[in-house]
Amino acid sequence: MGLYPGQRLNNYRLKNQIACGGMGQVWLAWDEERGVNVAIKTIADNLFVDPNFTKRFFDEGRRHIKLNHPNIVPVYDVFSAEHYNCLVMAFIEGASLADILDNQPDYRMPLATAIPIVQDILGALNYAHKHGIIHRDIKPANILIYKKNGRGFLIDFGIALAIGEDRRTCTGQSIGTPHYMSPEQITNPKGIDHRTDVYSVGCVFYEMLTGRPPFVAEMATGGETDFAIKRAHVNLIPKPPTERVNTIPAYINDVILFALEKKPENRLPGCQEFLRLLQVGETKPIVKIRKSRRPYLYLLVATVITLIVVISVLLIK
């Protein structure tokens, strides 16, 4: 039997469903202990094939409870009831960034509106990264915009890790979207670090300003779409944002492309640097530091130049 308004789960009484997706449902509920409205994400315990899902869900939920940042939606509780795994969060009155973009002209927003939201998310991620937590699933649907002041809040820390690498339900349905996945998350998901979130924020920022993610598969269908987009993340260079919207400032274009570098070692090193460049990039040029895959080549070139100089001096004498 499914969930229904008025149903009681532990200390929470369900009011109405406010969101529904491939992973489960989100309900507005009344917290009878605190006397406040909360949001409860519910995931059926038989949804995923992986038998370790429930344990990971609880582990990641408890880690999220420990996070305390003004731009991370607080998690109050994690429990199982009526064959559902439940994550209890603060209720943020507003809408997801995905919904807001869907209602914008050309599916994009002004730079002056986008930058504060991106800064909020970068600040939240920088805090989480310092506490050893990687989000792994940054996308517009996981960013909430508070109705009163337009500030950004991040949700669903660790849920991608709880789902696991297969990311499929018992019915074979794929969970999540590849539009914001870093190349290393596609090719080596066990080896990722905090820089995967940097890449994903770059993808979201790109979409906020241009009306589309860096890579889409316009001609592909079904399962081919995911494959085509993942292949693009790994192999293709994104079109510069300024080529899609010529009013985007050059420094913003450069920061986004820096975040979208394929190799983590060539990418913006972290969210703190991402934030800094957004603040100073307009006045200072952005210099990308690339680590060479062949450092010996530079040594060889330097040696040859030195020999040429020495031989020239000897000939002159």
- Is the pLDDT at 246 greater than 80? The verdict is yes
Q: What is the pLDDT of residues 278-309, one digit of tens each?
A: 988 766 666 664 443 444 444 455 555 666 65
Least confident of 154-168, 242-256, 293-307: 293-307
The domains of the chain, with CATH numbers, are 8-90 (3.30.200.20), 94-280 (1.10.510.10)
Higher pLDDT, 192 or 55: 192
**pLDDT tier at 221, thresholds 50, 70, 90:** low
Q: What is the mean pLDDT of residues 9-15?
A: 97
Higher pLDDT, 274 or 305: 274
- Is the pLDDT at 266 greater than 60? The verdict is yes
Least confident of 13-27, 37-51, 133-147, 271-285: 37-51
Q: What is the pLDDT of residue 268?
A: 97
Q: What is the pLDDT of residue 299?
A: 47
**pLDDT tier at 55, thresholds 50, 70, 90:** confident
Q: What is the pLDDT of residue 54?
A: 81
Q: What is the pLDDT of residue 22?
A: 63
Q: Are 175 and 160 in contact (CB under 8 A)?
A: no
Tell me the Ramachandran region of residue 136: left when phi exceeds 0, alpha when psi lies from -120 to 50, beta otherwise: left
Least confident of 20-34, 78-92, 221-235, 284-298: 284-298
Report, as residue numbers or ranges, the catalytic residues: 137
- Is the pLDDT at 174 greater than 50? The verdict is no
The per-residue pLDDT of the chain, averaged, comes to 85
Q: What is the pLDDT of residues 57-78, one digit of tens each?
A: 888 888 889 999 999 999 999 9
